[in-house]
């Protein structure tokens, strides 16, 4: 990166999208005026192929939309159509959009749970065969929503990708989406009569590590898990955390053994464990955890973090960022060792995306 490089933090909230800018020291932030005003911004994603930023939104009057910006969030356009089921289910929300690095292809996950593919930058969408998988009849709403919310593509094998459904579990395709297999062995579903079923797990967040494509992590309704074989099996790594519940994940792009989580108290409370805002980090793939608290409130901090409200940048050391239900955005430029406030008193934070650019 050159001396003029910038980092932009896209913060999606219940009332629009905010952009905070800084240089690569990541010490002083400038918050811009909100965009996409009045919309709930569920997901923001940077498409590195053409430096396009995507955002998925929902409005109480205008419904679900997919927006894109070609000038790093200064102006926005909206797609004419959104992916939807061609039956009475339609679309309640577009939860995520993912760009494939190797090809000009987009994936979108929607509610009610469905996966859609576009080969023309979102002009048209085709339903994936995953939507008709035999086990999809057992998918159930979780917390009021039945959503396909995580889509991750293999950084090394273009034909392989994973999706996560809440509640339905993790699915993988090894043949470019033609067929799909459930990949939930080793994960719990304590809310079901059979607690270790083939499908039906409530996955909250799923990521693949960009430096090791067989290394996946998931935050589940019932625990935190690691896979070393592309999802064929899962190892629970909850021990050492104050709870087995939470939503967010972040990592260091250079270190597959590094993971950040924020545990929350139970599916009933859904706020930071014991009212202490603590980010937990592992550097040994979940064998041990360290609580990172410097600069974060450690009493009476009963806030929630939603699945897209934590992220990392690609710098060294990694910057880690998260936003809370109280509208506060925190950042660490030193791998979580200390934290500072980027912005406060925003609307409820739903999503965050960090983008490093040359200017």
- Mean pLDDT for back-to-back runs of 10 residues, the chain (359 residues): 83 98 95 97 93 96 97 96 94 96 90 97 96 95 89 93 97 97 97 94 97 97 97 98 97 98 92 96 98 98 97 97 98 98 98 92
DSSP 8-state assignment for residue 145: B
Q: Tokens for 237, please give them.
A: 């790594």
Helix, coil or strand: residue 132: helix
Domain presence at residue 334: no
State the residue range of the domain holding 188: 34-313+321-328
Sign of CA dihedral 339, 343, 344, 346: negative
Residue 342 lies in a domain: no
Give me the pLDDT at residue 9, please. 98
Total Cβ atoms within 10 A of residue 303: 20
Classify residue 21: in a domain, yes or no: no
- CA-CA distance, 155 to 1, in Å (whole number)? 22
Joined tokens for residue 226: 């690691």
The pLDDT of residue 95 is 98
Q: Is 290 strand, coil or helix?
A: strand
Q: Does residue 347 lie in a domain region?
A: no
140 Cβ contact partners less than 8 Å away, ≥ 6 residues apart? 146, 167, 168, 200
Would you say 23 and 5 are in contact if contact means Cβ atoms under 8 Å apart? Answer: yes
Predicted local distance difference test score (pLDDT) of residue 3: 63
Q: Which residues touch 268 (CB under 8 Å, ≥6 apart)? A: none
114 within a domain of the structure (yes/no) = yes
Distance of CA 316 to the CA centre of its chain: 21
Q: What is the DSSP letter of 134?
A: G
What separation in angstroms does the CA of 108 have from each of 5, 158, 190? Answer: 30, 17, 29
Most distant pair of Cα atoms in the chain: their distance: 58
Q: Report the pLDDT value the prediction gives residue 173, as an integer from 0 to 100.
A: 98
Cα torsion 39, 45, 46, 48: sign: negative
* Residue 171 and residue 160 in contact, taking contact as beta carbons nearer than 8 Å: no
State both tokens at 130: 């995953």
The partner residues of 290 in beta bridges, in order of sequence, read 281
Domain count, the chain: 1
131 three-class SS: helix
pLDDT at 104: 82
* pLDDT of amino acid 183: 98
CB 150 within 8 A of CB 205: yes
Tokens of 254: 């250079």
Within a domain: residue 120? yes
CATH number at residue 202: 2.130.10.10
Is 23 a domain residue? Answer: no
Q: How far apart are CA 204 and CA 166, in angstroms?
A: 7
Residue 118 lies in a domain: yes
Per-residue confidence (pLDDT) for residue 101, from 0 to 100 = 78
């Amino acid at each position: 990166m050159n001396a003029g490089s910038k980092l932009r933090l896209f913060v999606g909230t219940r009332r629009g999208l905010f952009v905070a800018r800084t240089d690569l020291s990541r010490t002083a932030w400038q918050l811009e005026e909100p965009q996409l005003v009045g919309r709930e911004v569920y997901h923001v994603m940077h498409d590195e192929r053409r430096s396009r930023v995507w955002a998925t939104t929902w409005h109480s009057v205008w419904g679900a939309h997919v927006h894109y910006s070609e000038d790093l969030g200064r102006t926005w356009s909206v797609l004419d159509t959104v992916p939807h089921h061609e039956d009475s289910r339609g679309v309640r929300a577009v939860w995520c959009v993912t760009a494939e690095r190797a090809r000009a292809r987009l994936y979108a996950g929607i509610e009610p749970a469905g996966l859609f593919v576009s080969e023309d930058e979102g002009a048209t969408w085709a339903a994936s065969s995953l939507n008709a998988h035999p086990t999809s009849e057992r998918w159930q709403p979780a917390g009021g929503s039945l959503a396909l919310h995580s889509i991750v593509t293999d950084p090394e094998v273009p034909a392989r990708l994973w999706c996560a459904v809440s509640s339905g579990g993790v699915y993988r395709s090894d043949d470019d989406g033609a067929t799909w297999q459930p990949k939930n062995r080793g994960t719990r579903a304590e809310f079901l009569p059979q607690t270790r079923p083939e499908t039906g797990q409530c996955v909250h967040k799923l990521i693949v590590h960009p430096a090791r494509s067989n290394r996946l992590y998931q935050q589940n309704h019932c625990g935190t898990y690691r896979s070393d074989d592309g999802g064929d099996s899962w190892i629970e790594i909850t021990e050492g955390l104050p709870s087995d519940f939470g939503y967010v994940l972040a990592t260091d792009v250079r270190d597959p053994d590094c993971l950040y989580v924020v545990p929350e108290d139970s599916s009933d409370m859904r706020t930071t464990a014991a009212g202490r805002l603590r980010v937990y980090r592992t550097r040994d793939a979940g064998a041990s955890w360290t609580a990172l608290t410097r600069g974060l409130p450690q009493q009476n901090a009963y806030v929630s973090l939603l699945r897209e409200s934590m992220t990392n940048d690609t710098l060294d050391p990694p910057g880690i960022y998260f936003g809370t239900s109280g509208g506060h955005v925190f950042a660490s430029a030193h791998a979580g060792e200390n934290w500072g406030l980027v912005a406060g008193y925003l609307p409820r934070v739903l999503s965050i995306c960090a983008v490093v650019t040359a200017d």
